Amino acid sequence: MTVDRVRDAMISDPRALPESASAQEAGRVLTPPEVRAVYVVDAAGALTGVLTRKTLVAKVVAAGLDPRLTTIGGLAEQPYYTIEAETPLDTAFRFLEEHDAERVPVVEGGRLVGVLSRSVLQRRLAEDEEPAGDPDSAPV
């Protein structure tokens, strides 16, 4: 029996921008209401930070910086948590619950490879559960 891993339930190809991207580019990515954050990566694809609308407004707009000339590498905040792609799903679920996290970047050797969403993980785990049935109603 194989154990499902985070890589089996993660959202691949998360919204990521290089550290050299402008704040204006990040703003475009963050415009749709369903996008809550953009991940910032270095040239090798390693996760270096997370940028939210709130951070963009506070560090660029409120500070009076030019969003076309301001790069996001220095604006991004360290992610609170990351999780490895090979983590078993049950361990990942406990981790998300313990830290009350809705989404966690998934890394492999430091490189960003996906995002694990609590709601997606809950659906995945529910699909994997054996249906509870009445043993007396089993076919003969």
Q: What's the pLDDT at 130?
A: 55
* pLDDT in the model for residue 140: 42
CA–CA dist 116, 7 (Å, integer): 9
pLDDT band, very low/low/confident/very high, at 52 (cuts 50, 70, 90) = very high
Q: What is the pLDDT of residue 122?
A: 78
Structural element, H or E, at residue 15: none
Query: Which residue do the tokens 């703003």 mark?
Result: 27
In CATH, which superfamily holds the domain spanning 6-129?
Answer: CBS-domain (3.10.580.10)
Give yes or no for a contact between 56 and 107, defined as CB atoms under 8 angstroms apart.
Answer: no
Buried b (16+ CB within 10 A) or exposed e, 86-96: ebebeebbebb
What is the percent of the chain with per-residue pLDDT over 70, rounded to a whole number?
89
CA distance 99 to 113: 21
Whether the CB-CB separation of 41 and 19 falls below 8 Å is answered with yes
pLDDT value of residue 118:
85
- pLDDT of 71-116, one tens digit each? 999 999 999 999 999 999 999 999 999 999 989 999 999 999 999 9
- 129 pLDDT band, cuts 50/70/90, is low
How large is the average pLDDT for residues 49-76? 96
The whole-number average pLDDT for the span 16-32 is 96
DSSP 3-state of 35: coil
Q: Give the model's confidence band at 34: pLDDT under 50 very low, under 70 low, under 90 confident, else very high.
A: confident
Per-residue pLDDT, averaged over 46-67, amounts to: 95
The residues pairing with 39 across neighbouring beta strands, listed in sequence order, are 16, 50
